[in-house]
A = this chain, B = another copy of it.
Amino acid sequence: MSEPSTPLDRDGGDPVLGAVRQALDAGLAGHRASLERLVRIPSVSAPGFDAAEVRRSAEAVRDLLAASGLEHARLLETDGAHPAVYADWLHAQDAPTVLLYAHHDVQPPGDPSAWSSPPFEPVERNGRLYGRGSADDKAGVCVHVAAVAAWLAARGALPVNVKVFVEGEEETGSANLPAFVAAYADDLRADLMVITDSANWKVGVPAITYLLRGLVDAEVSVRGLDHALHSGLFGGPVPDPLAGLTKLLAALTDEHGRIAVPGFADDVREPTPAERARLDALSFDEATFRAEAGLLDGVELVGDPAAHPLERLWMRPTATIIGIDAPGVEESSNTLVPAARARISVRLAPGQDPLRARAALCDWLQGHAPWGLHVEVTPGAAAHAFVADLDHPVFAAAERALAAAYGHPVVYTGVGGTIPMIEPLSQAFGDAPALLTGVEDPDTRAHGIDESLHLGDWRNACLAEAYLFSELAELER
């Protein structure tokens, strides 16, 4: 299935790596079947979806890890949290211990009828596997499984110790993170983390992600009336709570779409010279970016006009209105609604304190609805941005492994998204480095309709991780 090994696989004639590569390719059809089984489980961790499916997904991941030859496979439970999954293989004496991270929960599918094929029925088209979670991040789960299984099949052992940790509520901002870290940091402790939940620069061009934005979110409800009113019989002197909500939301951003909350961005730092050089080294092409984003003709890029678009994307905060509770247009009647509600998701720049940012957002929302409308703000997630320390030798090791597997040099990129678990785990392990790679590409549409995985790059990602184990075994503990 997928792509055969090619001359681009630069295992350099090393017989061990050659055997691992052959074992990996021999096992790939089975891993693809496992991935499809996982995609069929609608493990949406968002509120309002069936939590039993997330548990079913956790159990399926546990069984998959156990079948791959990992040991101690089990669910990690936390009060109120969707279960995570753990397994390990710890028989590589004097070798480093690597925590392999992915997550098995997924985003809501949106309108299933908008998908080209049902979101939870994986289908291959044009070398891509379509389905919710096919890339983000069930593909990451299967990368770890494939890399481990290849070594065990080829050599009966791994060159490093591994702990596999598959989270179950990444897509809800890892809401129970503090309790989780308190409960399991000792079990998960490792010398470094490999996070397989990010994106390549483009198909065939492997990337190490060294910047992630942070995340805060909040719900805001605006209420003016204790019951709905006929808009003709009361409209005019009675304020429209839905209009009040739109005024509040509209004022949250300025004419460039930047967050307009005073002081909100005070702790955003400038890019360092090295970061600026890495931004400039990337061949950002606005036309390509517009095409990847699907921007319609004439729609402008927004954000600080003085900043490079990639800086706006990776190193500046931004707000998105991700939900509004209001009557739908088709079923609307001439009615003043008593209340309306919205959810706002804000990405944070490196340097921003998420608790400070969330408080600033919530305080501003609380204070800026018009007409004396009552406001209720519910703070949501809060996660730090991530900046890798690229001086650590793991990055040179990863560059070699990725370049060998993809047959293409690595680029260093940022990603505007967030992985809340990285920062507290890294801290709990004494600032262990985190290597962030992944299988997404600009066409993946993670979180969107028709999410898909490029199967060729997925195989390369599996091989790169298998090569990486060998590279990491050479590092100083």
Contacts and interface: CB of A to CB of B under 8 A. Distances in A.
Contact of A329 (B324, B338, B446): B324
Nearest to A292: B234
A429 B108 CA distance: 57
Contacts of A330: 46-48, 323, 325
A341 to B, nearest CB: 5
Contact of A336 (B226, B227, B320): B320
Nearest to A286: B237
Contacts of A300: 239, 371-372
Copies of this chain present: 2
A46 B312 CA distance: 44
Interface in A271-290: 289
Contacts of A324: 242, 324, 326-329
Contacts of A374: 296, 298-299
Nearest to A308: B237
A301 interface: yes
Contacts of A448: 227-230, 335
Contacts of A345: 231, 334
Given A250-B243, A320-B334, A293 B234 contact: yes
A302 B371 contact: yes
A445 interface: yes
Interface in A238-253: 238-240, 242-243, 245-247, 249-253
A56 interface: no
Interface in A414-432: 415-418
26 contacts: A48-B330, A108-B331, A108-B333, A171-B334, A199-B233, A219-B329, A223-B296, A224-B299, A227-B445, A228-B445, A228-B449, A229-B293, A230-B447, A234-B313, A236-B302, A236-B416, A237-B313, A242-B320, A243-B253, A246-B246, A249-B250, A257-B371, A320-B336, A324-B326, A324-B329, A326-B326
